[in-house]
Amino acid sequence: MVNAAATLDDPRVVLAWEALAGVMDPEVPVLSVVDLGIVRAVRADASGIAIDLTPTYTGCPATAAIRLDVENAIEAAGLGRPRIALVNAPAWTTDWIGPDAREKLRAYGIAPPAGKASELKAALFAEDPVLACPRCGSTDTRLTGRFGSTACKSLHACNACAEPFEHFKCI
Amino acid sequence: MERRAALFEYLLRLGDSCLVLGHRVSEWCGHAPELEEDIALANVALDLTGQADMLLGYAARIEGKGRDADALAFLRDAWDFRNLLLCERANGDFAHTIVRQFLFDAWQAELYAALARSTDAGLAGIAAKGVKEAQYHLRHSGEWVVRLGDGTDESHARAQAALDEFWPFTGEMFETDAVATELIAAGIAPDMTPVEAAWMRTVDDVLAQATLARPKSGWMQTGGSKGRHGEELGHLLATMQFLPRAYPGAKW
Ligand SMILES: [Zn+2]
């Protein structure tokens, strides 16, 4: 995780990370903002806590809600109102979602990002990755829509158990 | 031209194109031919509006006159908009919407990829984020162009008609005027010659798979970047800007 080295030993930074681990994504409530990788830096100085957040998708309507939840959580932890900066670079990628968080997604019924975005083929109509059904585990699944209920998901169906499911798009 | 003024102008072009096309695509919400497509178009519209918010917000900071993204989006008139004329064209049938989107997505994906290497860190950051969305949109619109073009006689004819109608609006994407020249010299904006070549390769590849014929490149429409628009933009703005103009400063 990104961290300014000079403030690593400040206990407020540790407390802030703990508080952030309890801030859940409003659309995918099994993942925290830390699991998602959208907290890019936490710093502490004389005027309080400063946090860098990066949006997942530019139009994600949850960004404003997440920002407010982060501010409230830091305040509730007794660390005061934090200063929030929205940073675009480097661009958010699902590669920042770790193995534990991926398993949480699967257990929740959402197929986690298939593979690493940094290794995706650039070809326009490159073959889609094989997805395992998050319910029965079968890899006999099909894409039903490239866009889903939120910007971060696509729609799929399982040919084995016939259940529809969502996939956390790999970007 | 002064560099800061040129960057403001350039950001308006990029941001207004996203905003206007995003609004156009959002008009399909609840009207698309199938549920999955309704969701897809709404998602594309949302991404474009999000990009517009970032680009116009940055434009406002560069301008430094106390305006913000909302002020630029809702409190300017048609002649102050700098969007590509392609983006403001009415939706027409589904083939028109898809072909317009494909021509735009292929352009935006190449342009953002180049802008991600801009010497301006603010613009590079927005482009590095936007390029992933643009590539994803391109895959979606490209697949539809193939499906319609290589579909039934009816869908093929409609897709070809849309392509013929919109082709003269593609020249504007690659114009290099004084604004662009100033920014290209500073490494802020890319040279459009390789961008156009890459765009043409994508277009040719997809049109071949779609069994559609690329129209001859003759006379091209121009004027969007100078604020000369068709009447369709005024109608779009009347809908989009009604609320913040009728109820200034409204919050909910
Ligand atoms: Zn299954």
- Written as one string, the DSSP assignment of chain A is ----GGGTT-HHHHHHHHHHTT-B-SSSTTSBHHHHT-EEEEEEETTEEEEEE--SSTT-THHHHHHHHHHHHHHHTTS-PPEEEE--SSPP-GGGS-HHHHHHHHHHTEEPP-S-GGG----TTPPPPP---TTT--S-EEEEESS-SSTTEEEEEETTT--EEEEE---
Q: What is the chain B residue with the closest CA to A117?
A: B132
> Best residue in A86, A87, A124 to probe B by mutation, most B CBs within 10 Å?
A124
Looking at every residue in chain B, the average pLDDT score rounds to 97
Q: To which H or E segment does residue B252 belong?
A: none
A61: which chain B residues are within 8 Å (Cβ-Cβ)?
Answer: 46
What pLDDT is recorded for position A1? 47
Q: What is the mean pLDDT of residues B54-78?
A: 97
What pLDDT is recorded for position A9? 74
Instruction: Out of B44, B133, B202, name the one closest to residue A124 (CB).
Output: B202
A148-152, B230-234, B240-244: which has the minimum mean pLDDT? Answer: A148-152
CA distance B137 to B44: 7
Percent of chain A with pLDDT over 90: 73
* Helix (H/G/I), strand (E/B), else coil: B187: coil
Q: What is the chain B residue with the closest CA to A54?
A: B129
Tell me if A75 sits within 8 A of A20, measured CB to CB.
no
Q: What is the mean pLDDT of residues B187-191?
A: 98
Decide if pLDDT at A153 tops 90: yes
What pLDDT is recorded for position A14? 95
More confident residue, B29 or A120: B29
What pLDDT is recorded for position B244? 95
Instruction: Out of A87, A151, A171, name the one closest to residue B43 (CB).
Output: A151
A59-73, B51-65, B130-144: which has the minimum mean pLDDT? Answer: A59-73
> What does the pLDDT look like over B126-150, one tens digit per residue?
999 999 999 999 999 999 999 999 9
Q: Measured in angstroms, how far is the CA atom of residue A141 from the centroid of ligand 1?
A: 8
Tell me if B8 sits within 8 A of B76, measured CB to CB.
no
Q: What is the mean pLDDT of residues B210-239?
A: 96
Distance from CA of A59 to the nearest CA of B (A): 4
* Domain annotation for chain A: domains and CATH numbers: 5-86 (3.30.300.130), 97-168 (no CATH)
More confident residue, B44 or A61: B44
A149: which chain B residues are within 8 Å (Cβ-Cβ)?
Answer: 39
What pLDDT is recorded for position A145? 93
Instruction: Out of A125, A147, A169, name the one closest to residue B142 (CB).
Output: A125
CA angle B147, B98, A63 (to 5 degrees): 115
B49: which chain A residues are within 8 Å (Cβ-Cβ)?
Answer: 59
Out of A142-146, A166-170, B11-15, give the one with best mean pLDDT.
B11-15
Yes or no, beta carbons of A147 and B206 under 8 Å apart: no
ipTM, 2 dp? 0.88
What pLDDT is recorded for position A8? 61
CA distance B18 to A46: 41
Q: Does A88 touch chain B (CB under 8 A)?
A: yes
Q: What is the mean pLDDT of residues B111-116?
A: 98
Instruction: Out of A88, A125, A146, name the one closest to residue B40 (CB).
Output: A146
CA distance A144 to A164: 9
Using pLDDT thresholds of 50, 70 and 90, give the confidence band for residue B159.
very high
Decide if pLDDT at A7 tops 80: no
Q: What is the mean pLDDT of residues A14-25?
A: 96
* Domain annotation for chain B: domains and CATH numbers: 3-246 (1.20.1260.10)
Yes or no, beta carbons of A88 and B125 under 8 Å apart: yes
